[in-house]
Structure 1
Amino acid sequence: ALVPDLFTTPGTVWDIGTIVGSADAMPTRIAVIETPTAEVWSGTNGHGVVVIDVAGGTTTRQTTAAGLPSGDVRDLAPGSRDPKLGAGYPVWAATAGGVARWDGSAWASWTTADGLPSNDVRAIDVANDGIVWVATAGGPASFDGSAWHAYGSADGTPPVDVMDVATTAWGVWFATTADGLLVLIPS
């Protein structure tokens, strides 16, 4: 059931809101984003994605049966900000089984067979130029809209286990498990 416990901020006044809990088919949350269409997407630990239509008041779940490569959705990112890389693709997902992109009606997915360095994808971010960046157990990778590029020793990138990624004007930053921060600086 919905439990009054979460605060929202309409203007400057705090009102009691609601939490969607396990009784509402909302398992353990890992990641959460808001889309421009007033939906809140939450990646879960083993149960796919839960989509809450805030305006419509509905909650739906998408799992591997809907096309996700894994039910363990570790991170979510709003779709491409660059129209040449898929205007209308509202959500990218980093999962334990690869990367997935929701286009509004179906999931497309990519794995090591498509060029990812590992299917164990921990984090995802979309840069302002539309390039999708991922952090994986096998190192960093990027997607230019048509192909994945895994970064490794051939590019001068040390072999690292990457946990998180953030795109900035100063480069793409990766948090690694043992080697600190790795940054790829645009030339």
Structure 2
Amino acid sequence: MAPVKEQIGLIKKLVPEAKKAAFLYCSAEANSVLQVKQARLAAEAQGFETMDATVSESSEIRQVVESLKGRADVIYVPTDNIISASMNTVSMVANEAKIPVIVGEEALCTGGGLATYGINYYRLGKQTAKQAEEILEGRKKISELPVGYQDQYDLIINEDQVKKLGIRVPDELKKTAKFVKTQNKSK
């Protein structure tokens, strides 16, 4: 599970003037719907006005992001397959409108998102291996293991987006962030 609350917390740190947060996601993806529910709770608890910006297919993404111009100060994208596949479009349109995009994982960040707290898949693999070891050695049954969550996440910041949007990264974040660049996905 992505650290949605912490991701929403990045808005206050990177876009402190933001008041209105839009959630861009595919309404047909159950994982996205769940993450947006969590994001909405976290955003409203921090005083943001929230709005949904949903798509049912990738051909709708440009129009939906364009509709946020003048209405949203920041966009949040959860780990969503449809949006991920078109992140370069999201980024291009959001950049034109000077709307930062906080995202749900590192690939969305290198696709053009501004920042995320993301799962470290190496650490996740080690955590999973420990659980598998307990099962294989007969110390535990699968039914006895709780759902595992990471307690440490990587802060990822896209330095290209920082420059394009004129974002000031606080020193406290610079110390722990992994800075990445946008990967060109256009063909």
TM-score (norm 2): 0.25
| Higher helix proportion (structure 1 or 2) | 2
| Higher strand proportion (structure 1 or 2) | 1
Higher relative contact order (CA 8 A, sep 6+): 2
TM-score (norm 1): 0.25
